[in-house]
Amino acid sequence: MAVHPGEVYYNPRCKEKIVIRTPAAHTGGERAVMDLYVEPGGFAAGYHVHPFSEEIFTLVRGSLRVHLGGRDIILDEVGQTVTVPAGTVHRWFGNTEEETSFAVVELVNRADRFEQLILRQLFGLAQDGKTDAEGRPGLLQHAVTMREFSDVLRFTDRPWPVQRLVNGALAPLARLLGYQACNPDYMNRRPLEVAQPEELPDVVAARLGAVGGRR
């Protein structure tokens, strides 16, 4: 099922909410723009890389700490931006204890695959209580899902060749036990809410317009 503007997706484990601004279906799968809301204590699910995709965060409200390539970057001013190049280890965290932070996130390249993995599969698993405290799937689920989506996201707690070997060994058993890389229940699950994306400050809207025009 395609993702549509205004759809709202929740990850209760990571304390994050995403509102779709521009879905991948509107850009031929190459670019998606999402509003990311992070509650106090919220975080991305594990340190990871996007092997072929660039990710850009632009702050609208609150504060985010983005760990990027071994250093922390604090976004705490409206319009402040950080770009995560493809293949760079990163993770973001809510950086305020008092309010929900809001940033616009652009995903460039393989955005349609990103929507499938993150918004459908991983968020669905988190909603059903089938992830660990960091929002990551268990060993057998990890084997089939992360093997299928290795072009989109790779966790970095273990070297990728080791993960590839382990996932390849466990995937047949996982499938035999009923684990699915793309669970149809999640792929077709309708969002609980549809909302109008917030009006953006001029400095943020201008940046999105300029970038969108160049893509």
> What tens digit of pLDDT does each residue of 136-190 get?
999 999 999 999 999 999 999 999 999 999 999 999 999 999 999 999 999 999 9
Instruction: Name the residue with tokens 């965290």.
Output: 93
The pLDDT of residue 213 is above 50 = no
Q: Which domains does the chain show, CATH number per domain? A: 7-214 (2.60.120.10)
Cα 133–Cα 138–Cα 140 angle in degrees, nearest 5:
175
> Three-state DSSP class for 176?
helix
pTM to 2 decimals?
Answer: 0.94
Residue 210 pLDDT: 62
Tokens linked to 20: 């779709």
Tokens linked to 176: 């035999």
Compute the distance between CA of residue 3 and CA of residue 203 in angstroms, rounded to an integer.
27
Contacts of 175 (CB under 8 A, 6+ apart): 144
Contacts of 194 (CB under 8 A, 6+ apart): 4, 6, 7, 8
Give residue 215's pLDDT band: very low, low, confident or very high (50, 70, 90).
Answer: very low
> What tens digit of pLDDT does each residue of 49-105 get?
999 999 999 999 999 999 998 999 999 999 999 999 999 999 999 999 999 999 999
Q: Is residue 175 within a helix (H) or strand (E), and if so which, with residue range? A: helix 160-176
Compute the distance between CA of residue 52 and CA of residue 114 in angstroms, rounded to an integer.
11
